[in-house]
């Protein structure tokens, strides 16, 4: 991939937004510090029925559609997450199934904060 080109990007965020003020598990005086120290003002919460491979499949499918590239021609899928739904099977192989990309290699990178935002995808060729 020495000469890779990004052909498409996409993302998916759950609809449910939780703002810092709604975090009742923290003392009220701590709430402003969350934004001050981290820059985080809100977060998205997926429904309990939504699993990560579904999150990964949505932006992946959008990338394929934008680039007019068939899933069965994908050569590789790399998923980076610090919080997989389960250890086995890997999130990448479940995402591979969601994309219907049987020919692609698929593996997870579990590297804590260096993981890409959940629900992001990039298509390179």
CATH of the domain at 104: 3.40.47.10
CA-based nearest residue to 96, from 124, 66, 64? 64
> What is the pTM (predicted TM-score) of this model?
0.64
- pLDDT for 91-121, tens place per residue? 888 889 989 999 988 888 776 555 455 555 5
116 and 70, same structural domain? yes
C-alpha distances in Å from residue 12, one per residue of 30, 36, 52, 94, 122: 29, 26, 11, 17, 12
Q: Look up tokens 């020919």; give the residue.
A: 103
Mean pLDDT of 6-27: 84
Q: Tell me how far apart the alpha carbons of residues 53 and 57 are, in angstroms, rounded to a whole number.
A: 6
- As for how many domains the chain has, the answer is 2
55 and 113, same structural domain? yes
Domain-located, residue 89: yes
54 and 80, same structural domain? yes
Domain-located, residue 1: no
Phi, psi of 21 (to 5 degrees): -60, -20
Would you say 101 and 111 are in contact if contact means Cβ atoms under 8 Å apart?
no
Phi, psi of 71 (to 5 degrees): -60, -35
Other Cβ atoms within 10 Å of 74 Cβ, number: 22
96 and 64, same structural domain? yes
Q: How far is CA 66 from the centre of its chain?
A: 18
Domain that holds residue 97: 6-13+50-124
Mean pLDDT of 61-87: 83
């Amino acid at each position: 991939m020495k000469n890779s080109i990004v052909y498409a990007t996409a993302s998916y965020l759950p609809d449910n937004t939780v703002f810092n003020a709604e975090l009742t598990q923290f003392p009220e005086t701590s709430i402003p510090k969350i934004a001050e120290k981290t820059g985080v003002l809100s977060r998205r919460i997926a429904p309990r029925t939504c699993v990560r491979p579904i999150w990964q499949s949505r932006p992946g499918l959008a990338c394929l559609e934008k680039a007019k590239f068939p899933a069965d021609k994908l050569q590789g899928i790399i998923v980076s997450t610090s919080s997989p739904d389960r250890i086995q099977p890997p999130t990448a192989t479940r995402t591979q199934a969601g994309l219907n990309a049987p020919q692609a290699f698929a593996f997870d990178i579990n590297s804590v904060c260096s993981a890409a935002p959940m629900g992001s995808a990039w298509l390179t060729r």
